[in-house]
Structure 1
Amino acid sequence: MQNTPKNGLIDPYARRIEYVRVSVTDRCDLRCNYCMPKGFDGFHEPDEWLSFDEIERVVGAFTRLGVERIRLTGGEPLVRHKLPDLAARLSALPGLRDLSLSTNAVRLDKYAVALKAAGVGRVNVSLDSLDPERFAQITGGGKLHKVLRGLDAARAAGLAPVKINMVAMGGVNDDEIEAMVAFCAERDFTLRLIETMPMGDTGRNASGQYLNLQTVRQRLSERFELIPDIAPGGGPARYYRVAGSQTRIGFITPISQHFCETCNRVRLAADGTLYMCLGQDHSYALRPLLRGGASDAELESAIRTAIDLKPERHEFREKPEKVIRFMSMTGG
């Protein structure tokens, strides 16, 4: 089927695609054990990354086709030089109403003010533990105090809401979930709990740590009254508000309760490959078009063709070995 700008980007299953996650680098300054293989150094070279001009062209094509939300991600996006400059260029594009950032916050204290000034409205911060030693183990040596400093800077700069992304892992950090709820409540942060996904060898190796978030939600409901709620953003979390407060807890459950029927997003990797699904290999290479002189009309046509490749659902349960790339290659 063919989509038209008038109707927006509609995939073969009648889902409107209005959200693109743009990876600006596949590199990261942490080594979370569920995301990147230990000792991995096979990153793309910078000349394989899309330039800021190329990213702006692609995002401009998407916004002309009806996309309203862009999230800058990685790897760790803040290792990309002059990222606030790119954010300012994207936030100025007509039709874009929500520009956000996913980050590990290690460098966020240096960039929070500039990002806010550039048009970034909100941030999602990966934080899997509040214990410095455990945090270092999960992240391959990361320093928790740097993340906490980045969170303070984000709040001071007016980036809101701040969402904490916690990958819930059995036998690793599942004993900290209540403490993370309290941490977020004290700071008016939103907590999002995420199930581990079997992406690449890293994700499959962590499969023994998989924690069904339906049981976690039941556990939390015994301590808190959880009221179904919504939160700003276009992502897949199912949100609940803790009664008597503004604290929200989101559950991202790609395995126990997949959300494929409402999927509204695609991912642009740092090398210009457009991925239609985290759990499938359907993709479309845009970089050859960008560097081959394609017109804006040709670029928009290619995006429409790519959207028609979007599968109905992932197959994490049925075929966990299917996706061999790991998370930092695709973008969060």
Structure 2
Amino acid sequence: MDKPALTLTDRFGRRIEYLRLSVTDRCDLRCTYCLPKGFKDFEEPEHWLTFDEIERLLGAFARVGVNRIRLTGGEPLLRRNLPELAARLHRLPGIRDISLSTNATQLSKYAGALKNAGVARINVSLDSLKRERFARIAGRDCLDRVIAGLMAAKEAGFTPIKINMVALSGVNDDEIDDMVEFCMAHGFVLRLIETMPMGVTGRNAAYFDLQPVKRRLQEKFDLVEGVVPGGGPARYLQTPDGKFSVGFITPISQHFCATCNRVRLVVDGTLFMCLGQNEKFEFRPLLRAGARDADLETAIRTAIELKPERHEFHETPQKIVRFMSATGG
């Protein structure tokens, strides 16, 4: 008889099965809604969890019910030997899905190795298809490298490949239809994302309500409700033939807290329960003090009890001072 699968449930009855793992807080871009110009207050490398520590801790998460892992940053491909880590996590009993979020500047070099390591799906941040506008948003003129990375991922056989476009009022909201056509042409899934007031950069970003866009695209392309593989919060629409899907991640205009199934482990071993709250649990001291596997599993269950019912971006937009890159994208 098969051993019954364990479940990790918070105090509000939500099943926590998805862990977003930030392997570095560093990035080679400076997107206007994420990191301020000149920011250098990154975590010291000696504070980073090692691959051995990550593998051991995520093995404990898997034993108590987590089965999805997303590798994030900062920019995760800046972490040396990332495909090796992906392969190690892919072999953990209980882990059934590993995905990656990237800005794709390094993806053309690593797409094949990541696919061979067991990464199944890739999300690529792409906020504009116009070179000069991309450079203004991202802080670096490298759109060609991003597109090359996308095509390398397509050639390597990743499916689905999702394009994450942060919609910014008066900045790139006029490109949404162009991005739809780009994704349709290449077989990519488009995901439109509302900005969140995280840190000064997030609060200063030009927030754009996606609900009118959703209604307009639904009418223009005759879209119907759809489902796309993944464990995240996007709500999807698709063309009747199923060949194109667009998702909407709307933490402000239509929050998804009641169904939140995820937590975020950052590079120094701190677990954050919610992007919009400050509850956290530090695992690095346990790992480096020789904690047993059973101790780690107990600590995970204790940490999950701290997960709040919902964010408070509407009520207290000034509450979160950390930047998105420090919490995991």
TM-score, structure 1 as length reference: 0.97
Aligned to 2:220, what secondary structure does the other structure show? coil
Aligned to 1:324, what secondary structure does the other structure show? coil
Give me the whole-angstrom Cα distance separating, in 2, the residues matched to 1:74 and 1:161. 20
What amino acid sits opposite 1:115 in the alignment? L
Give me the whole-angstrom Cα distance separating, in 2, the residues matched to 1:55 and 1:99. 14
Match of 1:235 in 2: 232
Match of 2:113 in 1: 114
Give me the whole-angstrom Cα distance separating, in 2, the residues matched to 1:293 and 1:245. 50
Match of 1:98 in 2: 97
The equivalences for 1:1-332 within 5 A come to 7-206=6-205, 209-332=206-329
Contact 2:71/2:101 (<8 A) preserved: yes
The more displaced of 222-231 and 123-132 is 222-231
Deviation at 1:38, TM superposition (A): 1.1
Give me the whole-angstrom Cα distance separating, in 1, the residues matched to 2:228 and 2:198. 27
CA offsets 1:256-308 (integer angstroms, 9 cap, x no match): 00000000000001110000000000000000001111011001110100000
Contact 1:224/1:243 (<8 A) preserved: no
Contact 2:239/2:245 (<8 A) preserved: yes
Aligned to 1:169, what secondary structure does the other structure show? coil
What amino acid sits opposite 1:11 in the alignment? D
Give me the whole-angstrom Cα distance separating, in 1, the residues matched to 2:144 and 2:109. 14
Contact 2:218/2:237 (<8 A) preserved: no
Aligned to 2:229, what secondary structure does the other structure show? coil
Aligned to 1:88, what secondary structure does the other structure show? helix
Give me the whole-angstrom Cα distance separating, in 1, the residues matched to 2:18 and 2:278. 19
Give me the whole-angstrom Cα distance separating, in 2, the residues matched to 1:256 and 1:277. 17
Q: Which sections of structure 2, spanning at least 5 residues, go unmatched?
A: none
Deviation at 1:226, TM superposition (A): 1.2
Deviation at 1:218, TM superposition (A): 1.7
Provide the alpha-carbon RMSD of the alignment.
1.0
Aligned to 2:314, what secondary structure does the other structure show? coil
Deviation at 1:6, TM superposition (A): 5.9
What amino acid sits opposite 1:171 in the alignment? G
Query: CA 1:225–1:270 in structure 2 vs 1: closer, same or farther (change >3 Å)?
Result: same
Give me the whole-angstrom Cα distance separating, in 2, the residues matched to 1:53 and 1:245. 41
What amino acid sits opposite 1:98 in the alignment? D
Aligned to 1:10, what secondary structure does the other structure show? coil
CA offsets 1:81-102 (integer angstroms, 9 cap, x no match): 0000000000000111100000
Give me the whole-angstrom Cα distance separating, in 1, the residues matched to 2:313 and 2:56. 33
Give me the whole-angstrom Cα distance separating, in 1, the residues matched to 2:37 and 2:313. 22
Deviation at 1:219, TM superposition (A): 2.0
What amino acid sits opposite 2:36 in the alignment? P
Deviation at 1:243, TM superposition (A): 2.9
- State, as a whole percentage, how many aligned pairs show the same letter: 66
Deviation at 1:172, TM superposition (A): 0.4
What amino acid sits opposite 1:215 in the alignment? P
Contact 2:132/2:141 (<8 A) preserved: no
Give me the whole-angstrom Cα distance separating, in 1, the residues matched to 2:266 and 2:107. 22
Query: CA 1:157–1:6 in structure 2 vs 1: closer, same or farther (change >3 Å)?
Result: closer
TM-score, structure 2 as length reference: 0.98
CA offsets 1:35-79 (integer angstroms, 9 cap, x no match): 111110010111111100111111101110111100000000000
Give me the whole-angstrom Cα distance separating, in 2, the residues matched to 1:142 and 1:123. 22
Contact 1:30/1:142 (<8 A) preserved: no
CA offsets 1:305-324 (integer angstroms, 9 cap, x no match): 00000000000111001011
What amino acid sits opposite 2:173 in the alignment? D
What amino acid sits opposite 1:13 in the alignment? F
Aligned to 1:17, what secondary structure does the other structure show? coil
Give me the whole-angstrom Cα distance separating, in 2, the residues matched to 1:306 and 1:100. 24
Deviation at 1:160, TM superposition (A): 1.1
